[in-house]
Structures are given as structure tokens and as C-alpha cells.
Amino acid sequence: MIVVTGATGGVGRATARAFAARGDRVALLARGREGLAAAADEVRRAGGEALVVGVDVCDAKAVDAAAQQVVDTFGHIDVWVNNAFAGVFAPVTEVSPDEFRRVTEVTYLGYVFGSRAALRHMRPRDRGTIVQVGSALAYRGIPLQSAYCGAKHAIQGFNESLRCELLHARSGVRTTMVQLPGLNTPQFDWVLNRMAGRARPVAPVYQPEVAARAIVHAASHARRREYWVGGSTVATLIANAVVPGLLDRYLARTNFDAQQDEGTPDGPVNLWAPADGPHGHDFGAHGRFDDEAVAYSPQQWLSRNRGRLGAALTVGAGILAARKLAGLVRR
């Protein structure tokens, strides 16, 4: 039995489909009514069984009740995927205290509450896997996404603490984290955006199915503490470890423009209410970047099949990227 939060769009939607393609029973947790109905239909057409649970993940009691509903319906929970999030694209001084709080409650505390709900049912059985959907931004903050980056950093620390506790207890329950690159998801059309242009992911852009494959793999191979998805994630994290000061300057120079397209922000905002609610529509898994998004990541294959060659190639790519970054900053 699989639970996916934030299952109505983007990575959550693609992940639900990927599990369903294996014949899994998938519980879809999210706020949006239209998106939940469409996601459930896709799960069934892919060969799985769907359970729809409307919930706001920042409500701990509601998340506990959702977990109990899943257990009452299907008997147990094998995998819990924490994926729901919210974000604001704006300088720090233009994000209100309430907006910082809301992003933190959904993106960080939603993972905490989801993990606790999953543990409540997994620990008595001494089995189960919690997958935290992360980002390269869990290690490396970038401009204009301070609330989201702060929440992702918090998830990283929380998950490390949880993993240590499970290892100390010699528990059969596992937790792992999947760090993702920029993805072609609908979030960039519904995120709260105070930039001059339309929000976009930093290139290169990957299709959400790339992330979904990594999440499904991680759920079955959770002894590994984390997975890095996409060459850009590897390059960013290694550069941040090797030359963080240079990376600061590079991001300051490039990432304001790299996160914007031409046009004026005009889409619905899902920070306080779902964009796919009663007066909205289903957004699906893909955003507006299909023409540039890639559907395969060679680095992901190397990561899954890591050995001496795979590790050498992955680290080598990161070091070359760091050297290139240093050259760009010095220009």
C-alpha cells in the first residue's frame, strides 16, 4: 500500500502513476478536488487501485486521520511518500511573515506530520519505507526562493535525525531522501510569484517522470540514505561542497534571470487554496516546458547502478562543473 502526498500535480501525480503501473494500491493525499479525481482515474487506468483522501498536510490531526483511513481501507501502509509543498518566488523582504509560515508549515511540517503518521502504523509491524522528496535546494539555497529553500534544508536535518533514531532502534522501518533537479511541473504557474516575469525552473529541465522513477526505485532500495537525480543536482551539490563562496557569486549573477521567463505572472495561486479546487481545473503532471524538458537522466542510471565506474563518472562530472563554475565567476 502506497501513500503519496501532493498527489494531484507534478512529481506527486507522476509518482502515483508510476506506482500504479506496478499494480500497487495508491492513496492520493492532497487538497484539490479536481486534481484528486483526475489522479485517481489515472491510477486506475494504469493498473492500480486508488483511494482519494482530501487533506491539508499542515494539519497534523487531519494527516493522522488520513493515515488511519488508509489503514482501515487497505490494512497497512508499506510506503509513505512525502511530496506536498508550497512556495513563494520573491526577495526575502517581499515575503510576508504569514507567507513564510505557510510555506514552512506545508513544505516542512507537512513532512514531519506525514512521517509521524506513517511511523505510527509502520513501527508496530517493524517494516515500511518513508521517502522524503527533496531537492538540490535542500543543500544549496538560491535567491528568490528563501522560504522554500529554508523548508527543504529543514527536511534534510529532520530526515537525518529520524534515520539515526531508526538505526539506533535497529528498526525495520527505513527512510530515504530523493534530491531532485528543476522539473517541468505545473507549480511554476500556480506558485505565488512577485517577480517581474513568469516563474520557471532553472535549466536543465527534466520531466516529472524522471523524478517518479527515482522515487519508486528509492522506495524499494531504502537502505541508501539518499539519491541524487539529474546531472545538474550532482554538479550543484558538489560545487556547493567544494567552492560554496564562488557558487554564491555565480547564483547572485545568474539566478534572478534564470528563474524567470518573459510575460507577466497571471495564473492562480495555490498557497492558501488549491488551484485545482472547486472553481479550478486539473493541472496534471506536466507544466509548460515540454519543449525543453528531457525525459531521461544518464546520471540517474549511474546512481542506481553505482560501482567504481559510476561513482567516478558522477564525481568527475561534478568536479568539472565546479571548475567551469569557477571560471565563469572569475570572468
Catalytic sites, residue numbers: 148
* Contacts for 82 with CB less than 8 Å, ≥ 6 apart: 5, 110, 111, 114, 115, 130, 131, 132, 133, 155
Query: Cα separation of 12 and 208, whole Å?
Result: 9
Of 40, 29, 129, 112, nearest in space to 76 by CA: 129
Phi, psi of 198 (to 5 degrees): -80, 140
Element (H, E) at 101: helix 97-104
Joined grid coordinates for residue 170: 535497529
Q: Which residues are within 8 A (CB) of 160 and not within 5 positions of it... i.e. 6 or more apart?
A: none
> Which grid cell is 208?
516529472
